[in-house]
Amino acid sequence: MQEAVLISQIFISVLLTGAILLQSQGSGLGAAWGGGGESYHTKRGVERVLFTFTIVGIVLFVMLTLASLLVS
């Protein structure tokens, strides 16, 4: 059981890393550290799906972490 939880955590963490890296807020390297965020827009289409997937993935990862604490 412990191995299944750990493998699931690794799988979800890889998916979350990819989802977070795909969410770009602006263009260029300056936007990564706070620049270029002067405009506000709503999330639509793939951007919204990716954002929702990230939230669900984080919740699943936290639940698996708590489950691994209870199993051990």
For the chain, domain boundaries: 14-19+44-72
Residue bearing tokens 């602006």: 26
pLDDT tens by residue, 5-23: 899 999 999 999 999 998 8
DSSP code for 32: G
pLDDT at position 35: 56
Angle in degrees, 0-180, between the axes of helices 46-71 and 2-22, rounded to the nearest 10 = 150
pLDDT tens by residue, 13-72: 999 999 999 887 655 444 555 555 556 667 778 888 899 999 999 999 999 999 999 887
Residue 9 and residue 65 in contact, taking contact as beta carbons nearer than 8 Å:
yes
